Amino acid sequence: SQELEQSPQSLIVQEGKNLTINCTSSKTLYGLYWYKQKYGEGLIFLMMLQKGGEEKSHEKITAKLDEKKQQSSLHITASQPSHAGIYLCGAPYSGAGSYQLTFGKGTKLSVIP
C-alpha cells in the first residue's frame, strides 16, 4: 500500500481559480516536503513543514501540516499557467533527523488560460 496518498491525481483549473492538493500519510509524520516537477525535469523544492500546525507561504502557494490527521495541504491562490506541473509530497519516514524521502505519486495540475 502507498504510504503517502495524494489527491486528486490530476486537476484541470481555469486560470485565476484557487485549488487545493492534499497529501495523507498512513504513518507518523516527522515532516513533510512539497516539490514541483515539470514534465521530463527534476524536482524543484517548494516548502518544508516540520511542526504540527505549521503553515508556510511562498508567493501564491500556501502549505499546511496537520500532524494529528497526518496530512498536509497545498493551496494555490489565483492559479496561473506557470503553476502547471506535477506536485509531489515527500516524507522522511526513517525518523527525525533522517532525510530519506518517501514520495507520493504526485498530482498533475493543468491550468487553462
Partner 1 sequence: EAGVAQSPRYKIIEKRQSVAFWCNPISGHATLYWYQQILGQGPKLLIQFQNNGVVDDSQLPKDRFSAERLKGVDSTLKIQPAKLEDSAVYLCASSSGGNEQFFGPGTRLTVL
**Can residue 85 be called a binding residue for partner 1 (CB under 8 A)?**
no
Q: In this complex, which beta carbon is closest to partner 1, that of residue 74 or of residue 88?
A: 88
Beta carbon of residue 16, minimum distance to partner 1 (angstroms, whole number): 28
Read out DSSP for the chain?
A: --SEEEE-SEEEEETT--EEEEEEESS--S-EEEEEE-TTS-EEEEEEE-STT-EEEETTEEEEEETTTTEEEEEESS--GGG-EEEEEEE-TT-TT----EE---EEEEEE-
Which of 11, 29, 65, 88 forms a contact with partner 1 (CB under 8 A)? 88
- Site residues for partner 1, 35-64, by CB under 8 A, read 35, 40-45, 48, 50
Report which of 44, 45, 48 is spatially closest to residue 31, judged by C-alpha positions.
48
Instruction: Report the site for partner 1 in 12-31 (rule: CB under 8 A).
Output: 31
The distance of closest approach from Cβ of residue 20 to partner 1 in the complex, given in angstroms and rounded to an integer, is 19
State the cell numbers at 18.
484557487
Which residue, 85 or 90, is less far from partner 1 as judged by CB?
90
Residues that bind partner 1 (CB under 8 A): 4, 31, 33, 35, 40-45, 48, 50, 88, 90, 99-106
